[in-house]
Amino acid sequence: MTDYSEEDIVEGISHNKHDVLEYVYKNYFPAIRWKLALRARFLQEDDVWDIFQDALVVLYRKLTVEKIELKCTAKTFIYAVCKLMIKQRRDKLGLIEYEFKVVLDEIVDPVTESEVTEFFADLETLNDDILEGLIIKYYRKLQGSCKKILRMFYKGSSLKEIAEAMKLKNEIIAKKQKYRCLNYLKNLLKDDSTFQQVEKNLKQYGKRY
């Protein structure tokens, strides 16, 4: 496998380059998976993958939207974000106090963690990142027509355009169909135990509007 420089890795993540992402996956994911597999009582394959994927998306956004300059390696950043995300999901993963501490200590040491947390004005935003990961996960489980309607709507298509594309009778039907799909997605999310866990972490919704 090609070895990439740190610069190549950062650039590849920013530009969603398949070969670089594959390299990152092969070299960074097994250690996180391995550490959690040893510790978490209720671990499922998806949980580890969700954590890792969400951490990569966080890095992608930091690089492309906030345009941060990393002070550590991409690997350290990803591991530290995984660590922060494990903190948010600890109950779901079934980590008891001792195991929880050991897992966190193992993933990245406190010095590098602080190098990473300085990029987060508010660590609570990580909960939103976890929720976004869940949204995509459940969005993928929707029926094809629902996926298409929601994508079109959020990409700015009008109800008339949606009705035409989906061969629906009129805009009113398209609107009803869109609400049905959106509510179905919301209900799937609200039933998810990780969603409920993260919701508990977000202390007061009201204050955020």
Handedness of CA 124, 96, 52, 141 (dihedral sign): negative
When binding is defined by CB under 8 A, the residue of 6, 37, 123, 125 that contacts another protein is: 37
Least separation in angstroms between CB 55 and another protein: 11
Residue 124 binds another protein, judged by CB under 8 A: no
Handedness of CA 122, 124, 127, 132 (dihedral sign): negative
- Among residues 126, 31, 16, which one has the least CA distance to residue 75? 31
Residue 200 binds another protein, judged by CB under 8 A: no
Q: Per CB under 8 A, which region of 83-91, 115-123, 161-169, 200-208 contacts another protein? A: 200-208
For 69, the enclosing helix (H) or strand (E) is none
Q: Which residue has the tokens 């039907």?
A: 173
Residue 102 binds another protein, judged by CB under 8 A: yes
Query: Smaller CB distance to another protein: residue 108 or 168?
Result: 108
Residue 16 binds another protein, judged by CB under 8 A: yes
φ/ψ (deg, to 5) at 64: -95, -35
Contact 174, 159 (CB under 8 A): yes
Q: State the Cα–Cα distance between residues 93 and 97, nearest whole angstrom.
A: 12
Residues 44-73 that bind another protein (CB under 8 A): 44-45, 48-49, 53, 56-57, 60-61, 64
Give the binding-site size for another protein (rule: CB under 8 A).
58
Residue 27 binds another protein, judged by CB under 8 A: yes
Residue 33 binds another protein, judged by CB under 8 A: yes
When binding is defined by CB under 8 A, the residue of 135, 142, 166, 173 that contacts another protein is: 135
Residue 128 binds another protein, judged by CB under 8 A: yes
Measure CA 8 to chain center.
23
